[in-house]
Structure 1
Amino acid sequence: MPVTSVRSDPEALTTTLVADFPAPVERLWGAFTDPRQLERFWGPPAFPATFTHFDLRPGGRAHYRMTGPDGETHHSVWLVTAVDAPSRLAFDDLFADEHGEVDTSQPPSTSVLSFEPTETGSRVRIVTTFPTLEALETLIAMGMEQGYTEAFGQLDRVLADLREYALGKGTVTVLVDDTHARITRAFDAPRHLLWRAHTEPELVRRWLLGPDGWEMTVYENDLVVGGRFRQAWAPVGDTEGEPFGFEGENLVVDPERRMVTTERMTGAPFPANVNDLQFDEADGVTLLTLLVTYPDRRQRDAVLATGMTDGMEASYQRLEREVLAAMV
């Protein structure tokens, strides 16, 4: 975990985050000053940021939104006050509406980011100052400290070369906590091709089959927020097994970036999962990250015990071999 500390000081009206990374200071600076890289960590995993305007110079503005797994959005703007590459960045961070107009009913804050080299890489120190104790307490109550920790916990992946970090490692499943599992898979292909492969019916039917011996009999997806989807599979030939399927609702559809859905096995009595699939690209490599939220630990363990990771890897290898190879 790169975050060394997150500490609030009610007397000074500040919150200070310190994080160390095994990367040169210029590389760390670059992650904070490129909107496409910022989007990969500026916000907790379940509330990733999308920067729609980015003018990083004194007097400039950056407008971004964070979108939750239920489609709820929170908009903010940076009013940039200082840019001294690669050592210092300062801005007022203000709540806003969808048009970028500042919402004065919400507490403002000012952030100063300092970057410095260390013996093992580099360090960023973020000091956020609030105008009143009430403003500080309000942001803490909204989960600011935990949000900082979760957000910056993603920066290692941003700083790493995806080819070295994830390519060739297959499908990796990590248990985050009792109700969350994070599944990652890297592809040597741009994300627009991965998005097409996940959303165009004729492409999906060619690879989303799990182990050999199955066919996809149904693929329907009204790819809009609130739209429904349905998928079904059946064994072929001598393959043992019973037909099954999944269905659910699209909660977030952000083309080439993110797709969040509910997912329930058709006819099953247990509650739905929430699947949050994100597409991150760097230098032609795309990392798929699927964060699955389960109703409880029992359902999480039961689903993973079915061999889900192995089935996904079989499908992803087929995707590389039979779909992406023909698209590139």
Structure 2
Amino acid sequence: MPVIGTEIDREALTLVVTAEFIATPERVWQLWADPRQLERWWGPPGWPASFPRYEFEPGGEARYSMSGPAGASSAAWFRFTAIDEPRRIELIDGFSGDDGEPTDAMPSMRMAVEIEPSGGSGGAVTLMSVRTVFDSNDDLERITSMGMVEGMTAAMNQIDELLA
């Protein structure tokens, strides 16, 4: 399993999920740069993601949806605020309404993805950490009570299959 740690820090209002992959940082970067690859792991098992819009550049936006069992669905968006290939991606992640447009009915979150080589024995090993920062403890509790930790862990645990 690639996820090696999860940490919720209620004082810092953060959730960090860290995974380790047997791949180069450049290969792990492609999991974010290519929306077709991102679609294959961003949704947890049983909730496949679709990215009909994906502008992977600072200031660019992405729109995505995930469809689940029994017709359930969830729509959301990214706004990329900084990209430093192949090391760091900063974005805002938020929910969308039925019309596909961003909504403030649910909190948005700031995310920083860090990709770095970690050495390892006998080959390229890369760490990827996804740090999510919330605006308040209420937002952190609301989103984590919806299963964000479990969902991100399950989603990131699918990446090994893509890298094989």
Deviations 1:255-285 (A, max 9, x none): xxxxxxxxxxxxxxxxxxxxxxxxxxxxxxx
SS of the counterpart of 1:137?
helix
SS of the counterpart of 1:76?
strand
- Rounded Cα–Cα distance in structure 1 between residues aligned with 2:30 and 2:98: 27
- Rounded Cα–Cα distance in structure 1 between residues aligned with 2:97 and 2:105: 11
What displacement does 1:99 show?
A: 3.9
Structure ranking higher on relative contact order (CA contacts 8 Å, 6+ apart): 2
- Rounded Cα–Cα distance in structure 2 between residues aligned with 1:78 and 1:112: 12
Q: 1:54 to 1:98 in 2, by over 3 A?
A: farther
- Rounded Cα–Cα distance in structure 2 between residues aligned with 1:98 and 1:65: 11
Deviations 1:185-239 (A, max 9, x none): xxxxxxxxxxxxxxxxxxxxxxxxxxxxxxxxxxxxxxxxxxxxxxxxxxxxxxx
- One of 138, 150, 155 as aligned partner of 1:151: 155
Aligned residues: 160
- Rounded Cα–Cα distance in structure 1 between residues aligned with 2:92 and 2:30: 20
- Rounded Cα–Cα distance in structure 2 between residues aligned with 1:32 and 1:7: 22
Max radius of gyration: which structure? Answer: 1
- Rounded Cα–Cα distance in structure 2 between residues aligned with 1:98 and 1:36: 23
- Rounded Cα–Cα distance in structure 1 between residues aligned with 2:160 and 2:32: 13
Q: Answer yes or no: is 1:128 the counterpart of 2:132.
A: yes
- Rounded Cα–Cα distance in structure 2 between residues aligned with 1:115 and 1:7: 17
- Report the residue type matching 2:101 in the other structure: E
Q: Answer yes or no: is 1:54 the counterpart of 2:58.
A: no
Matching residue of 1:93: 93
Q: Answer yes or no: is 1:78 the counterpart of 2:71.
A: no
SS of the counterpart of 1:57?
coil
What displacement does 1:37 show?
A: 0.4
List alignment gaps of at least 5 residues for structure 2.
none
Query: Residues 76 and 93 of structure 1 are in contact (CA less than 8 Å); yes or no, is this contact kept in structure 2?
Result: yes
Matching residue of 1:142: 146
Matching residue of 1:17: 17
- Rounded Cα–Cα distance in structure 2 between residues aligned with 1:23 and 1:141: 32
Structure 1 residues 170-319: aligned runs within 5 Å = none
Matching residue of 1:260: none
Q: What TM-score results when the alignment is normalised by the length of structure 2? A: 0.95
Q: What TM-score results when the alignment is normalised by the length of structure 1? A: 0.48
- Rounded Cα–Cα distance in structure 2 between residues aligned with 1:16 and 1:33: 21
What displacement does 1:32 show?
A: 1.4
- Rounded Cα–Cα distance in structure 1 between residues aligned with 2:27 and 2:147: 28
- Rounded Cα–Cα distance in structure 2 between residues aligned with 1:39 and 1:123: 20
